[in-house]
Structure 1
Amino acid sequence: MTGTRGGKTAHVISHSHWDREWYLPFEKHRYHLIKLMDRLVETMERDPAYRSFHLDGQTILLEDYLTVRPERRESLQRLIREGRLHIGPWYVLQDEFLTSGEANIRNLLAGLRDAREFGAVSKLGYFPDSFGHIGQAPQILQQADIDVAAFGRGVKPTGFNNEVTEQAAYESPYSELLWEAPDGSQVLGILFANWYSNGNEVPTDSEQALSFWDERLAAAEKYASTPHLLFMNGCDHQPVQTDLPQALRTAAELYPDIEFIHSDFNAYVKALKQSMPDDLSVIRGELRSQRTDGWGTLVNTASARIYLKQRNERGQTMLEKGAEPLAAYAHLLGLDYPHHQLLHAWKTLMQNHPHDSICGCSVDEVHREMVTRFEKSSQTAECIIADSVAHIVKRVDTSAFGGYGEQALPFIVFNTTGWKRGGIVSTELDVSRIYFREGVEFGEMKARLKTLPVNGGTIVDAEGRQLACIVTDLGLRFGYDLPDDRFRQPYFARTLRVEFEADDVPTCGHRAFAYIPFGQELGELPEPRFASEGSLLADDGRTLENDRIKATVEDNGSVTLTDKAGGRTFRGLCIYENAGDVGNEYMYRQPNGETAQTTELLQAQVKVLTDTPYEAALEIVQEWQIPEEAEASLARERDELIWFTGRRSVRTEQTVALRIRTVVRLQRGGRGLQVNVELNNTARDHRIRMLFPTDLRTDVHYADSIFEAARRDNEPAAEWRNPSYCHHQQAFVSLHDETAGLTIANKGLNEYEVLRDGRNTIAVTLLRSVGELGDWGLFPTPEAQCPGMHGAELMIIPHGGGGQRTDAYAEAYQFQTPLYVGTTGVHGGEVPPCHSWLNWSGRDLALSAFKVAEDTGDVIVRWFNWSGEATELAAIPAFAHERMAMSDVLERCGEKLESDSGGGIPVGPHRIVTLAITPQLPD
C-alpha cells in the first residue's frame, strides 16, 4: 500500500531544541548535550546521507560542548563550513520580553561573532519556543540582513504539552505569513503550526511509516501555503535520529509522488520563496497569543521568582548605562576600550537569559546558579566602571576648587542617560588616608585618624554655588589601591558619607563638585545661594510637596497624589492586593470563587523618615493577616498532574502575618513620587500586587517594551477566557486621556495588568509564590514560593494627557539608571568641569546605547522613537572625530552624515536609529 499526495516536497529538518537548563540543572543537561553532540558528529562523519542538523539557533551550545570536548573543534568547524551543521544567529535563545532591547542586540552580536569563528552562520531569526515575540523583532532582524523568522508561539493557541488546539479564526490561515514591526519592517514568518516536533522519530518500518506520514502530511497540508511542507525532526533535548536516511527512503517508497529530502532552513526557505502565494496575511507588532483563550500564553513567567528579574534589571543597567558609556568616555580620553571584559560580562549575564532561565520556570537548582552568574557579571561591570571613572576624573579640570584650601575634596558626578538630570547623590569621601607604606605604627595611625575633627561642611560646584548636604561620619575604614604598576597599597582612612541633591548634570556627561569642610576659607564668593531651601514636608506630617506634585498618605496607607500643572488628583494609590495562586511558574491561577483581599480597610502606621531641604520621606507600616497557603488538596492535585485550569483547591482559613513597610519619597526636583517596598513573605501559594487606580477614560494603554512604547488594549479579544489579562513591561506602564495621564515606573517588575474594574487600575505584581514548575510533569519547586525578605522600587509620575507624556517616559527611563560618582584631587585637565560628550535633541526619542564597536572602533550611539509620529534627531559629538555615519544593529558604517551641522536626521515612527562616529583619539 502506498500513499497518494503528488507534487509535494517534504523538507525534514533535524534539530534538538536544547533548553540549556530547565527540569534538570545546567550540568545535568550538559551531560546529555555531550552525548548528543558526540553522537551527531560521529553520525555525520560516518554517514554522508545524514546531511544536515540545525543546532537550535544558539551558539552557546558549542561553548558548552567544547568546554568538555575541546578536541572536537576542528570536526565541528569542518561540518559547519560544509553546510551540514547550521549554527546561530543568537548566543542564547532568550526570552525576548524579559531581556532589554540592548540585551537582545548583544545576544545577536555575540552569536554572530561566535558563528564567524566557526565559518558560517544561519541567517534565520530562530525563536522556536519563546513565550511570545516582541513587536520590533522584524526591524532588528532586517537591520541585521535577516529576512526570515521561524517561531512556534504567539499567533495560534498552544495548550498542555504544547498541543495545538482548534480555533475558529487564526490570524493567519497559513503557516507562512508576513510579520511586520511597528516601523513597517517586514520579514517572512514561518510558524511551526504543528509545533517543532511534527517530524520527530520518523519510523523506518513501512506499516508504521504509512500511519505516521498519513497523519503528519495531512496536518502540515492543513496550514501550508505552498507545496513545500516543513517537518521538524526533533523536540526538546531530542537525541539524534541516526537512522533518518533509512526512514526517508522508506517514506519515498511509500509516497513516490512526494519528494522527501533531509533538508535545512536555507534550502527550505529558498524553495518557499519561489512558490509563495500573494495572499499571505500581514501580522503586525507583538505576537503574544492575544487571539486565544489566554490560558497558554505563559505570560506569568514575568512574575515567577521576581528576584531574578530585579537582579537582571540591575545587571543590564550596570552594563548598558554604566560600564559601556563610561568606558566609551574614558576611551575618548585615551584608555583602551575593554571589549574582551565587556563581552565576558555580557555573556555571563546572557547565560541567565534563556527563556526557561530568566522566566523563572525551572527547578530550584537552576535559579540558585543564576544568582551566582548575576553576581559574576556585575563584579566585572563594577571593575570596568571603576577603571573608567578613575581614568576620566584625573583629566577633569578641578582647579576651580583650589581656592578652598587643602581640605577641599573634589568629586565628579556622571550622568549616562540621554537627558540632563539631577538627583540625590550619596558618596563616600576620605578626608585623610595613611598608607601602610608610610611606616606609621598601627596604633598611632588609627589614633591620628580617629581624633581628626569632623564638623560637617558644604558642597560647592565649579561656579561657586553652595548646596546643602548631609554629612555622616563613618569613622575609621580599611582600604587598598591596586595600581597597575606596583604591589597593592593598603591604608586606613577617616571616611565621610556626603549626600546632596545634584542638579543639571549634562546628558552623556558629568559635573564636578567638591566637599568643603566647615572652617575652610570659601574665598571671594558672592552671597551663598543654595540649590535647595526649605522643607518638602507639610506640617501635618503626612504630606510631601514640591513645585510639581503633592502627595498625602491617608490613614489606610494609600496615597492621594495631585499633579499641580494639570490639576488632576489620583486617589487610592499604593493599596496592596493579595490573592491565592494555585497555578505554577508559567501561569497564574486564582482559586475558584476567591475574592482578592486588599489593605484598603487596614489602619497604617505613618511616620516621618527623612526631612531635608532637598528630599523628604514618609514610612508606612501595615500589619496584614493573609491566608497561610493553599489547602492540602493542592498537593494532591499536583501529584496527580491535574492541569492548573482544572484545579479546585482554595486557600486555607489559617492566616499568617505579613508586615509591609512602604517608604514614599519626594525630591525637590523630582517629577514623580518614589515608592520603596519591603515585605517579609511567610505565606505560600499567593500573589501580591500594588494597585494604582487612574480613573482615566481610555480604552488603551502603553507599556515600555523592547525599543517601543507598545500600545495595548485594556480589553482582551473576544476569544480570551482567562480572568487574568497580564502583560509584560520593561521600564513603565502608562495611561492617559485627553486631559491627564499616569505613568508607573519600576525596577525589574516585569508584570502588570490594567484591571477591568471601571477605574482602569494599574496593578503591578510585586511577588508571586508557587510550588511547582508546571508543564509536562511533576517538578516541585519549593524555592519558587519565595520566602523571606523582598523589596520593590517604583515611581508614580503624573502628567498631562494627549501627547504630553514625553517627560514622564524620560523620567521613567532615568529612574532605572543611577548617577555614578568618582573622587579625585585638585588639578588641571583637558576636560571641563561640566561637560557632555554628545549634544543631541529629538522629540519622542530615547537614548539606548553609547558604546564602542569592536570591529571598527567607532563610537556607537543608538536611539529609538517610542511614538507613532515621525521626528528628527540632531546629534553633535563634543569630541574630535573623523566622520559620522548612519549605522545599524550590527554596528556597520553606512551613509556619511554632516556631523558638524547638527542638522536633523529623519526618524520614522517606531524607528531604531544608530549612528557610528569615528573618533580622533589622543596619542
Structure 2
Amino acid sequence: MKNIHVIQHTHWDFEWYFTRNEAIIQFVYHMDEVFKALEDQIVDYYLLDGQMSILDDYLDAYPEKKEELSKWVRNGRLFIGPWYTQTDEMIVTGESIVRNLSLGMEMADKLGGSQRIGYLPDSFGQAADMPKIYNGMGITNALFWRGLSEDKTRNREFVWNSEDGSNVTTLNIKDGYFVGVGLIDDDNVDSTMKTVISGTTIDDIALPVGGDQRYVDYNLKDRIKFYNDALKDKDIQLFESNYPALFIKMNMKRNALDNVSGEFINSSVSKIHRSIYSSRYDQKYLNDKVERRMIYQLEPLMVMADRVGIEYKKSLLNKIWKLIVRNHAHDSAGGCNSDKTNKIILDRLQEADQLSYSAVDYLTRKISESQKNKEPNDLTFFNTLPFNTEKIVKFNVSLKNKDFDLYDNDKKILVDILDIEKKYNGQIKRDESQYKETDYYYIFHCQAKITLPSLQWKKLKLVPKMGNAEVIGHTESNSISNGDLRIKYSNGDLTLLDLKNNKEFEKLLIFEDGGDEGDTYDYSPAYKDNIIYLNYNDATVKVQNGKVGQKMILTGQWNLPKDLDERANKTNSGIVNYELELTLDRDNQIQFHLDIENDVKDHRMRAIFNSDIESQYSYADTGFGYIRRSVVDPHLRDWKELGWKEEPTAIFPMLHYVNVHNDDSSWTVMAKGNKEYQIIGKNYNQIALTLFRSVGFLGRPDLIRRPGVASGNQFTYIPTPDSQLIEKLHFKFALQLNDRFMPAEMMKNFQIYAISQPFYQEQNLNLFTNTLKYFVMQPLDKQIESNPFLEIKNKNLIFSSLTESQDESGWLLRVYNPSKHSCGGNDLVLLNDFYFISETDFVGRLKRSMGKMKNISCGDFKPGEVKTIKINK
C-alpha cells in the first residue's frame, strides 16, 4: 500500500518582485483563512512555510492573535519554524545560518514549538555543510527541492552525510513544493499519482499541496475523497498529514536508504541559477561586510566587554541579526528582485551596518576611557580574534602638534603618515577669516605594523612633538617589493616576481568585460558578444614607498560598449574610469582595491589571475570547511539531451576564498563580498573572480545558457534599471601565494586580512571620530586593564565564533577542522585561569561536561568537524 501524505501548506515568499510591506497585507488576511480552516476542521494540519519572519511581522501588527496562533501550534495542527527566513545556503556564512535557525527556533518555541525539520523547499542549491549545521541545532531531518541530480542518487529519500559523520534523513520533493496542486485541479488521477510516486523508494510518500502565496484549499477533503475513490483498487491511499509524521515513517526505513554526501547545485530537475552569486554585487558586498563585523568583531568584543563589567547585550545582537538574516532568503540574497525590493534590502543592510559599527564604537570608547593610568592621546587597539596578530593597521589620530612618535611600552613603532588634514574645532562662522589659528588641529592618516595579543586590547603611547611630520610622497617608480614578492608595471601590464622561488608571472591581473544578456537570476552571454580584455595602457602610475608598507596606484580609463547594441557593433563609446591600488602587506600576499565608475549597461566584469597551475579542480571555502569542484562540469556537453533546465557552466559560489594548487604551488584569491568564480584558460590556469554583473530585467526568456521561459514571473518583463549598477563600485580582494594548500592556515589568513582592528584615541580635539563622540560618556565605576582570556593554539583548527550562551551562564567558543583529515584537539585553547568547561551543541545545550581546566583539549576532530565549547562565567 502506497501511503500518500497530503501536506497542506503555503510557500510565502518574504519578498520578491513585491516588497515585504506589500506581502504582509495579503498575509494578514491569509491568517484569517488559516485560523478558520483549523477551527472548522476544513483542514487537519497546516504548514506555515517554515519561517518565522512572516509571523514576526504579523504579530507586530496583531499581537492579540498570539494566543490563538499558539493554541494551534501547541495542539500539533499548525507547524511553524525552524527558520527565521528560509536561507540561501551558498553565499551566506555558516554562522549566519546558525543565527537564522537560532532566531527562528527560539521564536517558534515560545509560540508552542518549532518544527524540527530543515525545511528549504526553494533555496537555489544545497550546501555540503548543512547536515552538520542541522545536527548542531538538534535537527535530524531535512527537505529540499532544487539541486539534486541522478549522478548523486535516483531516489527521493536518502541519508545526507557530511564528512564529520553528521547526517540527516532527507526528502527531495523532486517536482516542487507545488506539485500537489494537481490534486486540487486535475481529475487525471493516474497521471498525478505517477508523478507523485516516481522516484520514491518507500511506501510513505509526500504530496505537498500549496504554492507561492497560495490560499488554503477549502476543498482539500473533497479532493482527497475523489482521488481515494478512484484509487480504491490500486493499493494507494491519500490522507491529510504533516512532515513530522512522514519523517517518523521514513526513519523506520532509514537503513535501506541511499547514503549521499556533498552539495547539490545541478539543474537537472529545476533551475538552480548558478550565476546568481554575482547579481546585485552592492548588496552582497554590504552583507558580507556586516556578517564579518558581527561574527569576528562585535560578538567577540561584547565578550571582552562582558569580562570587565559591561553587560553583554544579546537582545541588541538579535535585533541586528534579524535585520541581516531577513536579507538571506533565497531571492533576497540572490538579488533577483524588483528595484523597490532591492532598495529595501539595502536599507536593512545599511541599518545593520550602522547598528553594528556604532556598537563597536561604543564599546571601544567605553573600555578605553575606563582604563587604568590613561593619559591624553593614548591610542588603544583591539584584537577581536582569539589568536595573536601582527599586521599593518590603518588609523587616524588628532593632534595640535604637527608631528608625533608612537610607542609600545618603550619600543618606538615605525609609522607611515599617508596624509595630514588641517581641521578647525572652534564654533563655525559664516566668515571663516574670523577663525583663530589656535582653534585648528591636525588629523593624521597613518599606518603601522602592530602586534596585538589574542582577544585583548593594547594601549600605545602617542607623544606629540615639534616639527612637521613627513607625508609619504608618490614616486614615478614602476615597481614595489617586500623582499618575497616584487610587482612591476610595464607596457600596460603587471608582472609578478616570486623572489623566493625565482618565478615570474606575466599579465598577473587583467580584467575581462563581456556582454550579459541575462537577468538578475543568471549570467548569459550576449547573442552578439564582444569580449574585451582590459589592461592598464596609458595608466598613470604612482608608488608609495613607506617604512612599513608599499603601494602602487594605477589610474586610467577603459573604453567599453555603452550597451548591447554597441557591443554587437563593436563600438566602445562608454568610458569607465578606474583606480587600482596594489599593496604588499603580509608575506606572500598582495592586496587589491579597485574603484570604478560604471557607466555602461548589460555587461559582466571579471578579474583574471594568471597562475602557473594547470587545474583539474578548484577549492572554495564553505560554512564550516571547504569543497573541491571539477573545473569542467561532466554534463557541459549533454545537458540539453538530459533535459536539464540550464547550462551547467562551472561557475561556482564561494564565501571568502577560491584556491588552485599542485604539489609545488598554491594560489588563493580572497575577496570581501565577491561570491562567484570560475577556473578558465586553455590549461585551466586562470582564476576568474566575478566582480559584478550589470543587467536590466528581473527575468528574461530564451537565454543562451537558460533556454525557454523566463525565470521569476514568466508572463511579463519586470525592468530593474537599478540592477545595472550605474554607480561608483568598490572591490577589495587579495592574492595569497604559498608552497602548498593548507585550509586552516588559509582561513586564518583571510580573517587577518579581512578583519580590521578597532581603535580609539583619548582626545577631545576631534569630537566626530564617531557619530556620538560629541557627547560625554560615563566611564565604568572601576578602572580596568586588558587581561589575557583565551588563545587558540592549535594551528589545524579555525575560529568560527565567540558568543554568549542562550542561558547567559557562559561564553560559547566554536571551532572547526576545515581539513578532509582528522586532527588532534590537544592544547586547543589556553586560558588565563581555571574555568568550568563543557562541550555543547551550537546554542549551548550540554553534550558532555569536561570539568574545571585551564588548557582545553577536546580530543580528536573528525574531518570537517565543528565543536562548541562552553566556558562558564
Please report the TM-score for the alignment, with normalisation by the length of structure 2. 0.89
Letter in 1 for 2:658: V
Report the RMSD for the aligned CA atoms in angstroms: 2.8
1:303 to 273, 278, 281: 278
Q: Give the deviation of 1:181 after TM superposition.
A: 1.2
2:226 to 221, 243, 250: 250
Q: State the secondary structure of the residue aligned to 1:367.
A: helix
Correspondences of 1:140-539 after superposition (within 5 Å): 140-156=133-149, 169-200=150-181, 202-203=183-184, 210-211=187-188, 213-256=189-232, 257-275=235-253, 278=256, 280-289=257-266, 292=268, 296-398=271-373, 409-431=377-399, 454-470=401-417, 472-477=420-425, 494=441, 496-519=443-466
2:821 to 866, 869, 873: 869
Q: Specify the alignment match of 1:893 in structure 2.
A: 846
- Preserved contact between residue 418 and residue 847 of structure 1 (Cα < 8 Å): yes
Q: How far apart are the structure 2 equivalents of 1:14 and 1:88?
A: 15
Cα distance, 1:786–1:651 mapped onto 2, change above 3 Å: farther
Q: State the secondary structure of the residue aligned to 1:872.
A: coil
Q: How far apart are the structure 2 equivalents of 1:719 and 1:899?
A: 55
Q: Give the deviation of 1:83 after TM superposition.
A: 0.7
Q: State the secondary structure of the residue aligned to 2:126.
A: coil
Letter in 2 for 1:762: I
2:764 aligned with 1:771: no
Question: For residues 201-243 of structure 1, what are the alpha-carbon distances to aligned partners after superposition, in whole Å with 9 as ceiling and x for unaligned?
Answer: 633xxxx7541x3112111221111111211100111111122
2:669 to 744, 752, 765: 744
Q: State the secondary structure of the residue aligned to 1:631.
A: helix
- Preserved contact between residue 478 and residue 543 of structure 2 (Cα < 8 Å): no
2:541 aligned with 1:623: no
2:864 aligned with 1:910: yes
Q: Specify the alignment match of 1:818 in structure 2.
A: 756
Letter in 2 for 1:202: L
Correspondences of 1:18-37 after superposition (within 5 Å): 18-37=12-31
- Preserved contact between residue 225 and residue 277 of structure 1 (Cα < 8 Å): no
- Preserved contact between residue 415 and residue 509 of structure 1 (Cα < 8 Å): yes
- Preserved contact between residue 566 and residue 739 of structure 1 (Cα < 8 Å): no
Q: How far apart are the structure 1 equivalents of 2:443 and 2:528?
A: 57
Q: Give the deviation of 1:588 after TM superposition.
A: 0.8
Q: Specify the alignment match of 1:586 in structure 2.
A: 521
- Preserved contact between residue 580 and residue 651 of structure 1 (Cα < 8 Å): no
Identical counterparts, % of pairs? 22
Correspondences of 1:708-747 after superposition (within 5 Å): 708-718=625-635, 721=639, 722=647, 724-747=649-672
Letter in 2 for 1:688: M
Letter in 2 for 1:249: K
Letter in 1 for 2:496: L
Cα distance, 1:105–1:787 mapped onto 2, change above 3 Å: same
Q: Specify the alignment match of 1:550 in structure 2.
A: 486
- Preserved contact between residue 480 and residue 543 of structure 2 (Cα < 8 Å): no
Count of residues paired in the alignment: 819
2:733 to 784, 787, 794: 794
2:57 to 52, 64, 68: 64
Q: Specify the alignment match of 1:641 in structure 2.
A: none
2:837 aligned with 1:884: yes
Letter in 2 for 1:286: E
Q: How far apart are the structure 2 equivalents of 1:805 and 1:114?
A: 36
Q: Give the deviation of 1:868 after TM superposition.
A: 0.9
Question: For residues 157-192 of structure 1, what are the alpha-carbon distances to aligned partners after superposition, in whole Å with 9 as ceiling and x for unaligned?
Answer: xxxxxxxxxxxx452121101111132311111001
Q: Give the deviation of 1:350 after TM superposition.
A: 1.2
2:515 aligned with 1:597: no
Q: State the secondary structure of the residue aligned to 2:459.
A: strand
2:684 aligned with 1:762: no
Q: Specify the alignment match of 1:844 in structure 2.
A: 796
Q: Specify the alignment match of 1:678 in structure 2.
A: 595
Q: Specify the alignment match of 1:440 in structure 2.
A: none
Letter in 1 for 2:319: H
Q: How far apart are the structure 1 equivalents of 2:88 and 2:447?
A: 39
Q: State the secondary structure of the residue aligned to 1:202.
A: helix
Q: Specify the alignment match of 1:855 in structure 2.
A: 807
- Preserved contact between residue 744 and residue 817 of structure 2 (Cα < 8 Å): no
Q: How far apart are the structure 2 equivalents of 1:74 and 1:535?
A: 66
Q: State the secondary structure of the residue aligned to 2:564.
A: coil
Q: Give the deviation of 1:198 after TM superposition.
A: 1.3
2:678 to 746, 753, 761: 753
Q: Specify the alignment match of 2:505 in structure 1.
A: 570
- Preserved contact between residue 514 and residue 603 of structure 2 (Cα < 8 Å): yes
Q: State the secondary structure of the residue aligned to 1:661.
A: strand
Q: How far apart are the structure 1 equivalents of 2:613 and 2:110?
A: 54
Letter in 2 for 1:800: D
Question: For residues 838-857 of structure 1, what are the alpha-carbon distances to aligned partners after superposition, in whole Å with 9 as ceiling and x for unaligned?
Answer: 12222332211111123243
Q: How far apart are the structure 1 equivalents of 2:211 and 2:426?
A: 56
Q: State the secondary structure of the residue aligned to 2:379.
A: strand
Letter in 1 for 2:735: I
Q: Bigger shift: 573-582 or 666-675? A: 666-675
Q: Specify the alignment match of 1:530 in structure 2.
A: none
Correspondences of 1:606-617 after superposition (within 5 Å): 606-617=540-551
- Preserved contact between residue 320 and residue 352 of structure 2 (Cα < 8 Å): yes
Q: State the secondary structure of the residue aligned to 2:291.
A: helix
- Preserved contact between residue 424 and residue 499 of structure 1 (Cα < 8 Å): no
Letter in 1 for 2:805: A
1:559 to 488, 494, 510: 494
Q: Specify the alignment match of 1:444 in structure 2.
A: none
Please report the TM-score for the alignment, with normalisation by the length of structure 1. 0.84
- Preserved contact between residue 124 and residue 330 of structure 2 (Cα < 8 Å): yes
2:18 aligned with 1:93: no
Q: Give the deviation of 1:364 after TM superposition.
A: 0.5
Cα distance, 1:507–1:570 mapped onto 2, change above 3 Å: farther
Q: How far apart are the structure 1 equivalents of 2:599 and 2:218?
A: 51
Letter in 2 for 1:743: T
Q: How far apart are the structure 2 equivalents of 1:418 and 1:715?
A: 39
Q: How far apart are the structure 1 equivalents of 2:559 and 2:344?
A: 34
